[in-house]
Each structure stands twice: as C-alpha cells, then as structure tokens.
C-alpha cells in the first residue's frame, strides 16, 4: 500500500480530525473518501463535457419527452 503525506496547518488538522469524528471514520478515510469523491465528480463532468462537445460537432438533434412518450404509445406494427 502506498503512503501519501499531506502538509496542513495545525488548525486545519484539528478541523479535519473533528470532521472525521463527526463522520465516524478515521482521518485517513475522511481525506481519501472526500478527495476521491470530488475527483470522480470532476472526471465525470469533464467526460460529459467532451461527449457533449462531440455531440454538438456531429450536429445531433434533441427530441422532447412528449415525442419519446408518443413513440411508446404507438401500437406495435404486428398488432
């Protein structure tokens, strides 16, 4: 297992320790969990933006929810 050191002020460490107690987890788990969550959210946002930019570049069109629902309301061709 790798070890990463993070330097913080005494006040920051005290606050982080209180937050860890508040959440009922270790200080290490607090930092890891919240860092990973934030980074995963940022990654998802960037991937979404790239996909949206590609979608715009390909001149894709949207449809309304009413159009989608209307497609499901149509009787099957076999009927």
pLDDT tens string, the chain, 79 residues long: the values are 899 999 999 999 999 999 999 999 999 999 999 999 999 999 999 999 999 999 889 888 888 888 888 888 866 565 4
Three-class SS of residue 64? Answer: coil
Look at the alpha carbons of 40, 42, 47, 52 in this order and tell me if their dihedral is positive or negative.
Answer: positive
Integer Cα distance of 28 and 5 in angstroms: 10
**How confident is the model at residue 75, as a pLDDT?**
60
């Amino acid at each position: 297992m790798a070890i990463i050191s993070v330097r913080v002020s005494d006040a920051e460490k005290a606050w982080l320790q209180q937050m860890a107690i508040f959440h009922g987890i270790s200080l290490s788990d607090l930092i890891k969990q919240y860092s990973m969550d934030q980074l995963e959210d940022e990654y998802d946002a960037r991937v979404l933006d790239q996909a949206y930019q590609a979608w715009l570049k390909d001149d894709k069109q949207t449809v309304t929810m009413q159009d989608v629902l209307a497609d499901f309301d149509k009787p099957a061709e076999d009927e």
